[in-house]
Amino acid sequence: MDVDQYSKLTTSEGRYEELTELLLDTELMRDQQAYIKLVKEHAELQPLVQLIRELRRVKETLSENKELLRETDDAMLRELARDEIAELEEKEEALEAAIREAIEPKDENDERNVIIEIRAGTGGDEAALFAADLYRMYAAYAESRGWLTEIVDMNETEIGGFKEIVFMIEGKGAYSRLKYESGAHRVQRVPVTEAGGRIHTSAVTVAVLPEVDEVDFEIDPKDLQIDTYRASGAGGQHVNKTSSAIRITHIPSGVVVTCQDQRSQYKNKDKAMAHLRAILLDRAEREQADAIASERKSQVGTGDRSERIRTYNFPQSRVTDHRIGLTLYKLERILQGDIDEIIDALQVAEHEAALQN
């Protein structure tokens, strides 16, 4: 993390300095209510600003030692520089982790598992293939963090893509990291089916829902219609010969969920119910958020799923997140699950939005 790369963090530092000046104003102390409010904001920002300044100092010292290592021929000095560089790099990593934790917006759902829905949009087979690419990206990211990925339901195409795939990622803090992925993801590349070598643009939508416990969101069994059927794969090939797949219809809302990944009917029902609870809670929360327009505008990455949030350009190996104007030229690494840099930048942007409000 380059602290000065993101103006969001230096804004926090600027606000801290502004508050420090304000608190020296003796006139302000006469308004106790306003004064206490500023003291509280100053105290809340202080730990983050101290981390930012310490990280900047460590980076400067690290740069000086690396320069010394390049320029000196003295064996003893080189050995001392190498030892200090190793120590500083370890400290740099710890400070970056502490800053990420300090700016991470707190949400009551942050520690929950997530249910992710990926659906192919514009682009036919090419969109379905990209849906499969995104599934593999999130599965690889989950694996890198020690989280578990489990498919709930999928609709495969003949050439290895997904018209739709729903899966669960189980791991502490999964929602806090992946909630920014909701929205439309656009891909620009030459499809495997394109003989003329022309670049096509396709789109895939992603929805990230926090998993909801049964005790947190109760559904009246009388509102449910539950059907069983035989699971099948691409082209109608039967995955098993028993009616273990589950379809649940929530009658009041018309929401339908299915699960056919497990051979056990009971496991499929549990997964389908978890998916249904997540959808219904998400709907309820969105209705509430729609009533507070200003709050919705201040959110980063948790808004309208029809919003185009990211473009993956294969010819240029470029990935651009349109919400924050971040462009990275390492598409292959990102599709292999290396998405922390994007998520970190989105968290910084959300921290700044909260600070401004």
**Mean pLDDT in the chain?**
83
- Burial, 241: exposed, middle or buried (Cβ in 10 Å; 0-12, 13-18, 19+)? exposed
Q: What is the CA radius of gyration of the chain?
A: 25
**Calpha distance 36→23 (Å, rounded):** 10
Tokens for 200?
A: 């096509």
**Is a pLDDT exceeding 60 seen at residue 4?**
no
**Cβ-count burial 123-147 (b if 16+ within 10 Å, e if not):** bbbbbbbbbbbbbebbbebbeeeeb
What are the extents of the domains in the chain? 3-103, 114-354
Other CB atoms within a 10 A radius of the CB of residue 185 amount to: 24
**Calpha distance 66→70 (Å, rounded):** 6
**Is a pLDDT exceeding 90 seen at residue 286?**
no
Confidence (pLDDT) at 290 = 61
Tokens for 118?
A: 């990926």
295 falls in which pLDDT band (50, 70, 90)? very low
290, amino acid identity: D
Question: How do residues 75-111 score in pLDDT, each as one tens digit?
Answer: 888 899 899 999 999 999 899 888 877 776 667 778 8
Question: How do residues 188-220 score in pLDDT, each as one tens digit?
Answer: 998 876 656 788 899 999 999 988 776 567 788
Place of tokens 């669960």: 168
Classify 208 as helix, strand or coil: strand
Question: How do residues 45-59 score in pLDDT, each as one tens digit?
Answer: 898 899 989 998 999
**Calpha distance 339→301 (Å, rounded):** 14
Confidence (pLDDT) at 83 = 92
**Calpha distance 86→354 (Å, rounded):** 36
Confidence (pLDDT) at 232 = 63
pTM of the predicted structure, to 2 decimals: 0.65
**CATH class (in words) of the domain with range 114-354:** alpha beta
**Is a pLDDT exceeding 90 seen at residue 185?**
yes
